[in-house]
Structure 1
Amino acid sequence: MPFTAVRFTDRFWAPRQRVNRERTIPHIDRQNTVTGRIDAFRRDWNPSPEVTRRDGRWNGTVVMFWDSDVAKWIEAAAYSLATTPDPALDARLDAIIALIAERQAPDGYMNTWFLTVDPEMRWANLRDWHELYDAGHLIEAAVAHYEATGKRSLLDVMCRYADYIGATFGRGPGQKRGYCGHPEIELALVRLARATGEQRYHDLARYFVDERGQQPHYFDQEAIARGQPPAQFWARSYEYNQAHLPVREQTEAVGHSVRAVYLYSAMADFAASEGDQQLRDACATIWRHLTTKRMYVMGGIGTSAKNEGFTSDYDLPNESAYAETCAAIGLVFWAQRMLRLGLDRRYTDILELALYNAVLSGVSHDGESFFYDNPLASAGTHHRSEWFACPCCPPNLARIIASLGDYVYAQNEHEAVVHLYAQGSGQFRFGEQDVTLHQQTDYPWDGRVTVRVETGAPASFALRLRVPAWSGAPELLLNGSPVNAPAEGGYLQIDREWIDGDEVVLALPMPVERLYARPDVTPDLGLVALRRGPLIYCVEQADQSVPVERIVLPASAELASEFRADVLDGLVVVTGTALAPTGAGWADDELYRTAPPELRPCPITAIPYYAWDNRAPGKMRVWLPTTGS
């Protein structure tokens, strides 16, 4: 279902979309402007010396990626226009797109860095220089703008570029057998093929997926052509960019986490559209490996800042966790595509977990500062920033929040599927009959969901409702009476002829739960985390009477939840009584002793992880020490 068929009227996502529209999107546009990203598309752009080559080496490599920052902003702005008309934003898009069209080379090539700074190095380093990655984001922006406005101004520009890329890369005579070190263009070309109906873009995307990791290795060959020994690659292994093996032979989530999930998204696209069983099996195997061995409790992925990605199984430290916001967004993309391979709540549960926690934490409550990395513990020094040297996350956040309706519903000829719960509506069509599903709920604060059917004439279809794995046994009512509905893949199904006013109530239990990590995750041994519904909780110093690092949560401590309207415009907190060691009885010169410190009761308040670092700066922890009694 297109996201334009979905409306939010709740007090959770609707305000966030409004903040995204009114504050985040304008903020990113201002940053793109003052940092020179918009001017880079002008023909007379004259980059300053610090972004040009120096001593034969590239300086300011981040500038090579500028096109993608503007492209993701265009995509976000287009999604916003599609649901909320804004003449000023529409005109702003037209002006920027006109600059891009004017800057495009006569042969169709479009990359501001290589058109201006070093044109002779075009396509010289696909491994590191992101030309095709930039192209992918520009293509996604073009598709979004076309679908939102009906205008072909950017779409035509990017079709020319895609045709140029298709003539340059492939297995034909004189073509380069290359692919991008940062996957993105693959999934973008799939979108372009769907938007235009042109098979050649689908075939080009398939080439890039199939060619990856083949021998002789293209990255080795291009390095030799540049006069650089392949062994000098700083990452030491092509696992970094998921090019260590052909994609059908890959079994583990490795390397740079954003690159990984973008590639896996494209693999799932082809597994679904072409029935490619090998790709389907590879996706399922990698998914299981990632979600059972290399994913944080709040849905973040990627452990290390050094490679912005994965390390080894169960290596999930808390304070040094990288968990890049873009990686969580990419995990949402991949999860949605896995759902197209088969309706299974395992994928939706992870989609929801990442969205409500690891994605949403990336943007501040006011919409104008951002996390690049998302640790699970902080000494009080980790804060959001207004912008970054490599600002990939802010526009990525803007585009996923603006297009949030993409993830709530789905349908085929005979089924209406509710993946996520949020008050609002979704418009469906079965044959010649329009059907609207209205959700009434206070999710994620409350697990009761009422779905009311609006239809002008009776309509036959199966309504499928997800039961999250965390919810236990739900209650299901149809027009006020209990109903036993068959469940498949974690979705309840009610198949009948629906009439106007029919009403289904799904009551999902939403207790406060303790979570424990597998013993192999050594940083979390002896620790406990709190979950309520789809939300992971943390303790932040602003709410505690003792230092957060001293809090011990007994296994027997009773926990309660309550809605507090005065905290960040309203949220549910978890409260209870914990223990904290005191310094009572310790002499001033006593550093160690044989008797343990005294533990005294202390009240604690936990808030949703996504909400931390929006109030007074202070320490934070997701995982807390616990006791056996």
Structure 2
Amino acid sequence: MDKKAFNRPIDICRAKIADPFWGVAQETVRREVIPYLWEALNDRIPNAPPSFCVHNFRAAARMLERSKTQEFVWPSYSFKGFRALPQDPDSPDPDKHYGFAFQDSDFFKWVEAASYALANHPDRELESKLEEAVDIVCAAQHESGYLNTYYIVNGIDGAFTYLKDNHELYCLGHLIESAIALYQSTGKDKLLKTACRYAAFVLQRFGPEEGKCRGYPGHEELELALAKLYEATGKREYLELGRFFIDQRGTPPNFFLLEDRQRAEKNGEHYPPDDVSRYAYYQAHKPVREQTEAVGHAVRAAYLYAGMADISRLTLDENLFAACGRLWDDIVQKKLYITGGIGSTAVGETFSFPYDLPNDTAYSETCAAIALAIFARRMLQICPKSEYADVMELALYNTVLAGMALDGKSFFYVNPLEVVPQACGADARLEHVKPIRQKWFGCACCPPNIARTVSSIAAYAFTENENTLFVHLYIGSQITKRVGNKELQLNLESEFPWRGSATVRIKAASPVRCTLAFRVPGWCKNYTVTLPDGIERFEQNGYVYVVGTWKDGDQIKLDFPMEIHMRTANPHVREDYGLAAITRGPLCYCMEQADNSKNLHCYRLDAERVGDAIEKSVEIGGRHMVLLELPGYKQEITPGGSLYINYTKPQEKPVGLKLIPYFAWANRGEGEMRVWLRV
């Protein structure tokens, strides 16, 4: 590992997004999504499932307050473990916890999203809501430092007794991330102190020392958050705790097996024979350095791999980084949807076997695509290779954005690649697939996750080390790069994702010598980079490095022509055999009933004439975008007729197949959608 090559995300306050595409998305999040989520977390959205997030924090705070003024005995904890109280009580009991055990994390993700939004755009009303949110969280912290509403309300004697499934450590991870975001955006440290108190509580109870718990998170996320906390505070004990969780995971004797056995014995239940393979769902079936295949719950897996990458970078652990590389290769070579989604099956929201990528039953959770982008960004920090940024771009521009309606008022949890609305309602195998976005979910991890990701998009687009600024995504921005005691200001103007042109204009009070590295997208074969005189360039790992002394007024012009590509899948992908998908630049395209008609399976793309495609400017949901019209054919279907007939050549008529960007589907009402087309 080359420590000199390591880079870090640019400070969110030194990269202001000013982009006609992502800037609109960020404004939608700031003006629509964040206020909407706040109302949802407070259970004030009509006809939407209640969240109970704020309710649960207030219930925990009331219980803690009573325990100060009177003798109070914590309710006994049922060792049956996870129990979600009714999701929709008509009159919620103010002293009860409702919803899932991990509900706190949704609130923390909202705080993180709001913090990033505040860094991008001062907003006194939002700042006031953030202050209220912080007070709500801090009031629910136990005097010991412990902070989890499920156990504070239901019985703190059960804390850390069901690590596999009850998510306390996962929630701590999101608390840490939100606290750091708030501190970096505003300088306010009240929530950061709260997070550090909880982290200190965990430090006292977990570790390799005698008498401490040797468990680890059932739902990973804390590992990467502890790496962040170490970098934010400089306290190495946080890094060591993160490394402990990574090193301990899956090692014999398997902690989750012991935990399950203990629970079964206490409850008088039969426990099946020892078999650690069942813990592949949690990526705990073997030590992480021995894992070569991405398995189990896709979100957990990608969060784990991101944490592994962080720990490997911060501890210079080459073996751990090599494991990250093997797992990365398994995902992108065998388990990645063309839309940047991962996790193909609804059974456990998991990875399936290699090349199993069904389209209509696809799960492809929005959070999983976000987790993949997080993993990719971590890999870029260690080794800036364009392949990592290519996948990050694919996930962000397609599945992540598809998870949110263009108006920011509804969301997808699941992101299929083929939809027939009638089937969604009639086929139990498609119960998880929704033909239109939903206002909210009982398990609402995705909406606030989208909000925090879009609000922090600069951290994905740009990273830096002491002398180099890396441009991974071409997003219009105003960036300040510090080199020694000097500053270089870069105004990046971009036409992505509709055109492949970008211009960088330099502002500097005095000449500054440094390196700028620009990614060459994998979808572009012929590109041009125009530089000022005296600037040197070289290419490495899919990046163009330009080196020299930059002066005020210098310009860099980049052009990455966006050609239309007809893509086919590896023949091992049975579901896509004989089919093709259309991509243009970073975007995957799809057919939608709104532009064509019903029975999209009867359309056929003319593979020989893809080069005759017509690009049209259209408006969907108030947003400008490029529609593609490609030559093809359609077989007409007549009502009735025999179920089976002797083969005759289908009667087809020439038609134009109209395709829109995948992220924009389902913004014009309910209808069919299809990514993979007959050819």
TM-score scaled to structure 2, two decimals? 0.88
Mapped contact 2:79–2:263 kept (Cα < 8 A): no
1:269 paired to 2:285 = no
State the alpha-carbon separation in 1 of the partners of residues 137 and 475 from structure 2: 38
1:8 paired to 2:45 = no
Measured after TM superposition, the shift of residue 203 of structure 1 is 1.0
Mapped contact 1:369–1:387 kept (Cα < 8 A): yes
Q: Equivalent residue for 2:26?
A: 17
Mapped contact 1:553–1:579 kept (Cα < 8 A): yes
Residue from 401, 425, 429 that aligns with 2:478: 425
Q: Deviations over 1:25-83 (max 9, x none)?
A: 1111111111321121122379xxxxx99996753174211111111111111111122
Mapped contact 1:219–1:230 kept (Cα < 8 A): no
Q: Equivalent residue for 2:573?
A: 521
Q: Equivalent residue for 1:60?
A: 84
Q: Equivalent residue for 1:554?
A: 606
Mapped contact 2:239–2:311 kept (Cα < 8 A): no
Comparing 250-259 with 460-469, greater Cα deviation is found at: 460-469
Q: Equivalent residue for 1:579?
A: 633
Give secondary structure in 1 for the equivalent of 2:655. strand
Q: Which amino acid aligns with 2:645?
A: Y
State the alpha-carbon separation in 2 of the partners of residues 232 and 317 from structure 1: 33
Give secondary structure in 2 for the equivalent of 1:514. strand
Mapped contact 2:220–2:303 kept (Cα < 8 A): yes
Q: Which amino acid aligns with 2:630?
A: G
Mapped contact 1:478–1:504 kept (Cα < 8 A): yes
Q: Equivalent residue for 2:653?
A: 600
Give secondary structure in 1 for the equivalent of 2:163. coil
Give secondary structure in 2 for the equivalent of 1:227. helix
State the alpha-carbon separation in 2 of the partners of residues 336 and 151 from structure 1: 27
Q: Deviations over 1:222-242 (max 9, x none)?
A: 222223555389996111011
Residue from 388, 392, 397 that aligns with 2:441: 388
Q: Equivalent residue for 1:38?
A: 54
> Which residues of 2 match residues 413-562 of structure 1 at below 5 A?
413-479=466-532, 485-545=537-597, 547-558=599-610, 559-562=612-615
Measured after TM superposition, the shift of residue 167 of structure 1 is 0.4
Q: Which amino acid aligns with 2:40?
A: Q
1:97 paired to 2:125 = no
Residue from 333, 346, 351 that aligns with 1:292: 333
1:324 paired to 2:365 = yes
Give secondary structure in 2 for the equivalent of 1:579. strand
Residue from 117, 138, 144 that aligns with 1:80: 117
1:129 paired to 2:159 = no
Runs of at least 5 residues in structure 1 that lack an aligned partner in the other structure: 47-51
1:179 paired to 2:233 = no
Change (3 A) 1:530 1:233: farther
Q: Which amino acid aligns with 1:272?
A: R
Give secondary structure in 1 for the equivalent of 2:100. helix
State the alpha-carbon separation in 1 of the partners of residues 79 and 159 from structure 2: 19
Measured after TM superposition, the shift of residue 11 of structure 1 is 1.6
Measured after TM superposition, the shift of residue 482 of structure 1 is 12
TM-score scaled to structure 1, two decimals? 0.94
Mapped contact 1:438–1:451 kept (Cα < 8 A): yes
Q: Equivalent residue for 1:49?
A: none
Measured after TM superposition, the shift of residue 617 of structure 1 is 1.2
Measured after TM superposition, the shift of residue 4 of structure 1 is 2.0
Mapped contact 1:545–1:603 kept (Cα < 8 A): no
Mapped contact 1:545–1:602 kept (Cα < 8 A): no
Change (3 A) 1:230 1:483: farther
Q: Which amino acid aligns with 2:312?
A: A
Comparing 211-220 with 415-424, greater Cα deviation is found at: 415-424
Q: Equivalent residue for 2:453?
A: 400
Mapped contact 1:459–1:497 kept (Cα < 8 A): yes
State the alpha-carbon separation in 1 of the partners of residues 221 and 244 from structure 2: 13
State the alpha-carbon separation in 2 of the partners of residues 477 and 294 from structure 1: 38
Comparing 285-294 with 168-177, greater Cα deviation is found at: 168-177
Change (3 A) 1:93 1:545: closer
> Which residues of 2 match residues 74-223 of structure 1 at below 5 A?
74-223=111-260
Calculate percent identity across the aligned residue pairs: 39
Measured after TM superposition, the shift of residue 548 of structure 1 is 1.2
Mapped contact 2:535–2:548 kept (Cα < 8 A): no
Change (3 A) 1:177 1:377: same
Mapped contact 2:295–2:301 kept (Cα < 8 A): yes
Q: Deviations over 1:280-312 (max 9, x none)?
A: 100011101110001101110001111201010
Give secondary structure in 1 for the equivalent of 2:569. coil
Change (3 A) 1:560 1:7: farther
Change (3 A) 1:594 1:185: closer
Q: Which amino acid aligns with 1:511?
A: E
Give the count of matched residue pairs.
619
Q: Which amino acid aligns with 1:2?
A: D
State the alpha-carbon separation in 2 of the partners of residues 16 and 345 from structure 1: 24
Mapped contact 1:512–1:561 kept (Cα < 8 A): no
State the alpha-carbon separation in 1 of the partners of residues 34 and 647 from structure 2: 58
Comparing 556-565 with 102-111, greater Cα deviation is found at: 556-565
1:623 paired to 2:632 = no
State the alpha-carbon separation in 1 of the partners of residues 199 and 500 from structure 2: 46
Q: Which amino acid aligns with 1:571?
A: M
Q: Deviations over 1:472-515 (max 9, x none)?
A: 02012124x89984210001122111111111111112111000
Give secondary structure in 2 for the equivalent of 1:556. helix
Measured after TM superposition, the shift of residue 7 of structure 1 is 2.0
Comparing 502-511 with 606-615, greater Cα deviation is found at: 502-511
1:315 paired to 2:356 = yes
State the alpha-carbon separation in 1 of the partners of residues 528 and 277 from structure 2: 54
Measured after TM superposition, the shift of residue 582 of structure 1 is 2.4
Q: Which amino acid aligns with 1:172?
A: E
Change (3 A) 1:376 1:589: closer
Give secondary structure in 2 for the equivalent of 1:613. coil
